[in-house]
Structure 1
């Protein structure tokens, strides 16, 4: 009997090509000055709404079914400031914030979490903090200083009119693959 393989999943809001280009240009101008171990591939830029983890095919089908009931009006987001997670001197994550319709984004995230609970997924204990991961694991010889970043990415905006279930392919570049897209 052939065992069905599970997939490592999360739910995300993708960004537009214009925002991808803006972030990619900003990163190219800063990679040499900011020694992080791993930089996010431009095709992988997204806002994670909920991490799901290893998920079997039958549960994926139930998940897609229940997420069909999430409803929202399209809204706009814009790139905000650069920030970090982790110790300020040696951060784990370098990220870009989002601004504008953040309440609409939080409501979308809340609906998704509510729906995924119906399928048996647990809600994260951490507060939702919308961001786009740019790099991971600072490896510099001196302490990281956010103030060393004198410029921010352009405030590119995009319309959010869909969200996706994504699959992580850890050994691939880009690393994320769309499993299913939900449009307004």
Structure 2
């Protein structure tokens, strides 16, 4: 493989990882597929690209492709790639657990937020005040100090004695 091809593979590989980490799974799959097509699949770099491609397939909802590629990776010449391929295959083939809707956290789609912020910057409209400043402040009720229990319950002395005894016994046992 010449240096131009290697540089292109690394560029596509890094672009795929960046797209994956930013949640753009379909673009990640595209970049990683390009890198995988250009790299020698039996090399260490080829194994790394394919491992990332498995995770991108799974994140993009292409589970069948991810499992098929994992099956291939279990026979990869590099030991680390084989191990990781087996681990990923084990995870992908594990049965799915039934979840209740109340167990899940819905992550809002923030793409519209990014677009609206870009539009706001272009039109130079001052940003809206945060909702914290618009809420009415809750009044704090004063505490009646006559109702507070200030009687000494000797807890500190008990804790101090237990600590000294514990340290003393540890010191004696260490000799």
TM-score (norm 1): 0.21
TM-score (norm 2): 0.22
Greater percentage in strand: 1
Structure of higher CA gyration radius? 2
Greater percentage in helix: 2
